Amino acid sequence: MAILAVNAGSSSLKFSLHPLRDGQVQPFVLSGCIDGLEPEGCPGMRWKYLGKNAQVRLAVPPGIGPFEAALERLRELLSSLAHGSAIAAVAHRVVHGGGQFTQSVVVTDDILARLASFNSLAPLHQPHNIEGIRRFRKAFPAVPQVACFDTAFHATLPEVDYAFALPRKLLGQGIRRYGFHGLSYQYIMSVLQQQSARANARVIMAHLGNGASLCATRQGQSIATTMGFSALDGLMMGTRSGSLDAGVLLYLMEQGWTHAQIETLLYKQSGLLGVSGISADVRTLRANGSPNAVRALEQFTYRVVREAGALTACLGGLDVLAFSGGIGENDATLRADVSARLAWLGVEIDPVLNQKASGSEACTIHTADSAIEVWVIPTDEGRVAASEAALLLARGAHLAA
């Protein structure tokens, strides 16, 4: 038996297959991505199975869409690997659980309807997450579908952190900070708790990728995080603005900007892409080296340092700093720059260890004299989602659903 973990986006589907052994979820044996799933797209699938890579373009027969064709090919792949009839559950990453869902749940029609009410809180993610669940329910009708929430890890945030300075009636309407990247933070914390004696002390985790955020924990629980009501808040990101004076939006509205124009600006045209005018990809900007590319990278680093300082104040100090996400795991220059600017805290990294950290396994990069432990931990949101599904299955929750 195995659990299939999936993350459905607007034009792509990421997946990983996690065997169950004695009820425990194991590292994936199969992982991959199907892209080109937008309407009229030309989908392609790439995957890794037991260390071997493969890829194929997918034919889309007349009368069905790219997503349906992709699911059929995924079913064929699973069957060819002798796992097609052994899927115990499909675990879906769902970005927003609002204030209603603080734990993973087996999906029902009622739950799908409630999740759809959060679409406006995460317009680039939530509708596609939900549509993915609907399509998997149809493709795997006998298999429980489990929704695992990025907001759930932050259910421990104190009110002083999650409440805005707005009339309290708006808080009652769900206008508050929620926090995101929770599945990633849950995984990073689980690794720290296994490998670091300081894991339950004062920790800042940095999930730095196209979407980016920081999270402060004490006793392994989230007490503050940079993302808020939406996945726009906090750090500068690949194409998202991060924190922005609300007066800017009022001004743009006065200038005649529409809701759609503002949404596109904030989600798709800002961040590294907007500042550089070149790319949202840190690798491209490093290689480019132009003044605008350098400016964008410096601004990204500055925002990480600024928010790390704020979270350190909330924690009353710092014991562990952990880098993760595509940038955090793979960009040694970013880690070195952030660490150097946090040297006043006692952060000191070993340049050799920093360069060797490849993003393939968890490792430390701090010196023996560093007052702060510094880790690089490749995240695995799929394994967390699979573990959540396995826990629900063990409790028999799928039977109640």
Residue 281, marked binder: yes
- What is the β-pairing status of strands 44-49 and 30-35? antiparallel
Q: Is 350 a catalytic residue?
A: no
The answer, yes or no, to whether residue 369 has pLDDT greater than 90, is yes
In this prediction, what percent of the chain has a pLDDT beyond 70? Answer: 98
Q: Do residues 220 and 322 make contact, with C-beta atoms less than 8 angstroms apart? A: no
Q: Is 283 annotated as a binding residue?
A: yes
Question: Residue 399 pLDDT more than 70?
Answer: no
Q: Is residue 326 annotated as involved in ligand binding? A: yes
Enter the DSSP assignment of 281.
-
Give, as one character, the DSSP assignment of residue 164. -
The pLDDT of residue 272 is above 90: yes
327 is in an annotated binding site: yes
Confidence grade of residue 83 (pLDDT, cut at 50, 70, 90)? low
- List CB contacts of 296: < 8 A, sequence separation 6 or more: 272, 275, 276, 278, 285
Beta strand pairing status for 30-35 and 12-21?
antiparallel
Q: Which residues make Cβ contacts (< 8 Å) with residue 20, sequence separation at least 6?
A: 1, 2, 3, 26, 88, 390
Cα distance between residue 306 and residue 128, in whole Å: 32
**What pLDDT score was predicted for residue 82?**
63
Query: What does residue 161 show for φ and ψ, rounded to 5 degrees?
Result: -90, -40
Mean pLDDT computed over 41-59: 90
Residue 247, classified by CB atoms within 10 Å of its CB into exposed (0-12), middle (13-18) or buried (19+), is: exposed
> Which architecture does CATH list for 197-381?
2-Layer Sandwich (3.30)
Q: How far apart are CA 12 and CA 377, in angstroms?
A: 24
pLDDT digits (tens, 9 = 90+) for 175-222: 999 999 999 999 999 999 999 999 999 999 999 999 999 999 999 999
Which residues in the chain are classed under CATH 3.30.420.40?
2-175, 197-381
Does the annotation place 138 within a ligand binding site? no
Residue 251, both tokens: 């001004």
E strands, 77-198, in order: 87-94, 105-106, 145-149
386 pLDDT higher than 70: yes
Whether 303 contacts 236, CB under 8 Å = yes
85-96 per-position pLDDT tens digit: 589 999 999 999
Task: Give the pLDDT confidence of 105-135 residue by residue, as tens digits.
Answer: 999 999 999 999 999 888 888 999 999 999 9
Whether residue 224 contacts residue 311, with contact meaning beta carbons closer than 8 Å, is answered with: yes
Residue listed under structure tokens 């900070």 = 177
What's the confidence (pLDDT) of residue 220? 98
Query: CATH code for 2-175?
Result: 3.30.420.40
CB 92 within 8 A of CB 6: yes
Q: What is the 3-state secondary structure (H, E, C) of 203-267?
A: EEEEEECCCEEEEEEECCEEEEECCCCCCCCCCCCCCCCCCCCHHHHHHHHHCCCCHHHHHHHHH
The count of residues in the chain is: 401
Q: How, if at all, do strands 363-364 and 221-225 pair?
A: unpaired
Residues 148 and 91 sit within 8 Å (Cβ to Cβ)? yes
Give the integer Cα–Cα distance in Å for 97 and 103. 9
Q: Where are the beta strands (DSSP E) in 58-169?
A: 87-94, 105-106, 145-149
Among candidate residues 109, 110, 150, 319, the one labeled active-site is 150
* Per-residue pLDDT reduced to its tens digit, 73-82: 999 999 888 6
What pLDDT is attached to residue 228? 95
Find out whether 14 is annotated in a ligand binding site: yes
Average pLDDT in the chain: 94
What is the model's pLDDT at position 175?
Answer: 94
Residue pair 151/97 in contact (Cβ under 8 Å)? The answer is yes
- Mean pLDDT in residue range 364-384: 97
Query: At how many degrees (to 10) do helices 332-341 and 291-315 cross?
Result: 50
208 is in an annotated binding site: yes
